[in-house]
């Protein structure tokens, strides 16, 4: 059966981190879903390029809705922004095929020679202060995913003098979120010998919505290893700077879990005794959490309207969409479905295709 997303364009630039990693795995003859690292790369890529991008989800939904026989179950997953897509076969097959095609297309595109030269200079001679400064100046002046990755790498370990490390940190922060995919992918397996403190500081300083979750995940991963304890005690203090309105609840959730090791409880209890998590007095949540709350609320209303449309109740669906547009004038899903409400598009059939998706 032909994949309904065959030849779909996920619009990934050639300097993207996931293409870079794919190239390495292809060279190592490991580009197979049976390979653990390759599958992890694909899962993370789908999360970064599809799940997190509302516009991309909307493009996929629009593409599926144009088909005579739309795969209803896949459509439901795509339009529900809280639904993961890395277990949906249609998405996996389409995304992997696209990455391979895109890698072949990017082979002839030469990397930025200035970035490459600066990266070589910085990574080969980090102890040469003048060379390191010149390299960082070059990398900081070129706003690209590749230059951001190099700068993020050099702050992950104490290879630079402290003032130069802070300079590199400032440059990475100014480029955020270009280094985000590389940092999140590198953190996930917890394979690092030293905890990359600057990365977690970056997540806090840049208002990354999942920063608290990532710090707690790091503590859970390494608390039973004595060699990490000192670093974890320093890391946990970042929670005191977090603006996440759910910080205290998340800490208590870990503390109250029966599965939490004693060493983790000690670290978290000590943190709570030493300091108080921020108490936000402003009404509502700070950014980016306020925007996320609005986004999730809008999506729930959209799903109600889409259900009405898909069951043939176009007038009722249109009213729901108009109501949502007054609240969120630029919400991509609504703008897409409004076009279909005005046109003659038929709702997709109610029969479900054989795509198990995520149970």
129-141 and 162-175 helices, crossing angle to 10°: 10
- pLDDT at 340 exceeding the cut of 90: no
**CA neighbours closer than 13 Å in the CB half-sphere of residue 215:** 32
State the pLDDT at residue 313. 94
Per residue in 93-105, pLDDT (tens digit) is 999 999 999 999 9
- pLDDT at 52 exceeding the cut of 70: yes
Least confident window among 43-47, 92-96, 160-164, 277-281: 277-281
| Long-range contacts of 264-267, Cβ-Cβ distance < 8 Å, separation of 24 or more | 264/219, 264/220, 264/223, 267/219, 267/223, 267/229, 267/232, 267/233, 267/236
Burial 174-205 (b: 16+ CB within 10 A, else e): ebbebbbbbbbbbbeeeeeeebbbbbbbbbbb
What are the φ and ψ backbone dihedral angles of 64, each rounded to 5 degrees? -65, -40
DSSP secondary structure, 235-254, as one string: HHGGGGG---TTHHHHHHHH
Does residue 143 sit in helix, strand or coil? coil
Which tokens belong to 10? 């996920």
Report d(CA 278, CA 181) in Å as an integer.
28
Least confident window among 66-70, 122-126, 129-133: 66-70
- pLDDT at 351 exceeding the cut of 50: no
Asked if 219 contacts 267 with a C-beta cutoff of 8 angstroms, the reply is: yes
Asked if 238 contacts 275 with a C-beta cutoff of 8 angstroms, the reply is: no
Report d(CA 275, CA 328) in Å as an integer.
39
Average pLDDT over residues 74-93: 98
> How do the domains of the chain map onto residue ranges?
17-106, 112-194, 210-287
Q: Is the pTM of this model over 0.75?
A: yes
Does residue 279 sit in helix, strand or coil? coil
Report d(CA 280, CA 333) in Å as an integer.
32
């Amino acid at each position: 059966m032909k994949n309904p997303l065959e030849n779909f364009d996920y619009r990934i630039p050639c300097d993207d981190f996931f293409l870079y990693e794919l190239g390495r795995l292809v060279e190592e003859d490991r580009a197979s879903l049976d390979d653990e690292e390759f599958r992890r790369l694909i899962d993370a890529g789908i999360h970064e390029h599809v799940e997190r991008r509302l516009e991309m989800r909307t493009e996929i939904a629009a593409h599926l809705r144009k088909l005579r026989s739309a795969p209803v179950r896949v459509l439901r997953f795509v339009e529900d922004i809280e639904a993961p897509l890395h277990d949906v076969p249609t998405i996996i097959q389409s995304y992997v095929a696209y990455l391979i095609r895109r890698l072949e297309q990017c082979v002839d595109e030469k990397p930025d020679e200035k970035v490459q030269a600066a990266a070589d200079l910085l990574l080969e001679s980090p102890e040469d202060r003048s060379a390191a400064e010149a390299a960082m100046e070059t990398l900081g002046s070129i706003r690209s995913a590749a230059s951001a990755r190099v700068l993020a790498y050099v702050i992950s370990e104490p290879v630079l003098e402290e003032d130069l490390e802070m300079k590199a940190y400032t440059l990475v922060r100014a480029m955020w979120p270009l280094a985000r995919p590389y940092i999140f992918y590198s953190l996930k397996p917890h394979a690092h010998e030293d905890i990359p403190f600057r990365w977690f500081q970056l997540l806090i300083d840049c208002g990354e919505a999942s920063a608290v979750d990532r710090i707690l995940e790091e503590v859970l991963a390494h608390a039973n290893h004595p060699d990490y304890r000192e670093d974890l005690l320093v890391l946990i203090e970042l929670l005191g700077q977090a603006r996440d309105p759910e910080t205290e609840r998340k800490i208590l959730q870990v503390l109250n879990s029966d599965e939490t090791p004693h060493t983790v409880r000690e670290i978290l209890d000590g943190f709570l005794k030493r300091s108080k998590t921020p108490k936000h007095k402003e009404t509502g949540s700070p950014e980016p959490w306020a925007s996320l709350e609005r986004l999730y609320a809008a999506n729930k209303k959209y799903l109600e309207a889409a259900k009405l449309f898909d069951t043939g109740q176009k007038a009722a669906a249109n009213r729901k969409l108009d109501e949502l547009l007054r609240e969120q004038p630029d919400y991509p899903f609504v703008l897409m479905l409004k076009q279909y409400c005005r046109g003659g598009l038929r709702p997709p059939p109610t029969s479900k295709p054989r795509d198990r998706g995520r149970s």
